[in-house]
Amino acid sequence: MPLPPGPTAPPLVQFAKWLRDPLRYLDGVYAEYGGMFTMRLPGVGPMVIVSHPDTIKALFVQPEIDAPGDEELKVLLGENSVLLLTGPPHKQRRRLLMPPFNGSRMTVWGQAILDMTESIVEHWRPGTRINVRDEMQEITLNVMLQIVFGDHGSDRRQQLRRDVGDRMLYGSKLSAVLPLWMPFLRPFAKGWQDSMAAEKACDDAFYAEIRECRARSDPEEASVLAMLCRATDETGRALEDHEIRDELMTLMVAGHENTASALSWLIYWLGTYPEMRERIEAELDGLGPDPDPLAVAKLPYLEAVCNETLRYYPPVMLTMRRLIREPVEIEGVRLEPGTKIWGSIYLAHRRPEIYPDPAKFDPDRFLGWKPSLFEFIPFGGGHRRCIGMAFAIYEMKLIIAAILRTSRLSLVDGQDVKPKRRTGLLAPDIRFEVNVDAVGQPATPPPQRIAAE
């Protein structure tokens, strides 16, 4: 049976458009073919893309559709990553990884997030400019390092930060991204080779941390690494070092870049619409000079602005791949086994019947209204939904609250901020800067910086 219609350009041409300007490409294809179409990219084959909430629901819950994980990620994360496991091993690993990012542990991390944010903000200088992406990534990387590895000495931590920062830096280059989809380029692409060398340095650091954690064997240690080192499956088998390594890489890659991208957009929107910033500041003022992190997280307008930020430019544009296991009819099209299908998070968030005037940035749409799990999907859905979803939104709220309470930023006149692809993420242009108009007095020295690209 034929696949849904879609662009007829050669796969390499479609790939070039998808890489160069993915949103323009998606908008154009949607305008021509509607909410279900087929893209064709080299190294991937036909990709059925959907965005209607009923179809998104089918992707997430229908038994004829599997969620096998993206094999392309194996070379980046390792075959034991929760993003690649399937069946019972996947369910077990999700249960193992979720506690640190949900429930009571969120309370523990809240004050640490505020403190780490303020330690960066305090060293911004009035009258200067900051690179928004760099600063947000600095904060979110600090948060993830603290949660995942704990605090075990500044020298070791600084080296770990440099290793992880290099891995993310080199991995975001186009010459490292293309070989991910076109393996024949790997022997010739310097960016790919640099990325693999940086990954090797990360591996060495991760295995050293694993060995030290096992040696400490502290039953009270609350880091994610300590939890993984103590974990056992139903048979009593402990995770092996290479399994822990793959989860550490997954957490570091997925756990801070997405949030940094969302925060960068959030700062852009608050600079574009100062009245929105003032409404959040009024909510924060109502909590007093030393607000409880959980009280900050419950502020309704702050939550609405965060949700609208994730709706408008979701950091991840597509859900994880699904695979048709048995013949199924979707939107009047019979899809055969083996068909690969993705949900477009970006297009799902632009449907006017759900989000009136979708091209308008309007946080008020989220006040008094909660979209369904198939209409608002910035973290994917089904049993592949991001395990850190609740934590990521919590972190966003606390970081932006700390920035607003301790500084005043404004957009640089004449700066045209456009969404750009950064590896598989949607982020503001890496050159996006803001003016630092006011800030509190410095206290302690900030963490050592990671060199920017």
Give the domain ranges of the chain. 11-439
Q: Are 329 and 64 in contact (CB under 8 A)?
A: no
CATH number of the 11-439 domain: 1.10.630.10
**How far separated are the first and last CA of the chain, in Å rounded?**
47
**Stretch (H or E) spanning 24:** helix 22-33
DSSP-assigned letter for residue 184: G
Cα distance between residue 284 and residue 290, in whole Å:
10
Contact 114, 398 (CB under 8 A): yes
Q: pLDDT tens-digit profile of 54-104?
A: 999 999 999 899 988 777 778 778 888 888 888 888 888 888 888 778 777
Q: What is the pLDDT of residue 74?
A: 82
Query: Considering all CA atoms of the chain, what is the largest pairwise distance in Å, rounded to the nearest integer?
Result: 67
pLDDT of residue 328: 93
Helix (H) or strand (E) holding 341: strand 340-343
Closest among 332, 320, 444 to 385, alpha carbons compared: 320
Q: Which residues of the chain have pLDDT under 50?
A: 441-453
The H or E element spanning position 435 is strand 433-439
What is residue 217's predicted lDDT score, i.e. its pLDDT? 83
Output the pTM of the full model: 0.91
Q: Which two tokens stand for residue 292?
A: 């409880």
Phi, psi dihedral angles at 333 (to 5 degrees):
-115, 130
What is the signed CA dihedral for 402, 159, 264, 150, rounded to 10 degrees?
A: -50
Residues 6+ apart with CB under 8 A from 412: 129, 433, 434, 435
pLDDT score at 170:
66
Residue type, 64: E
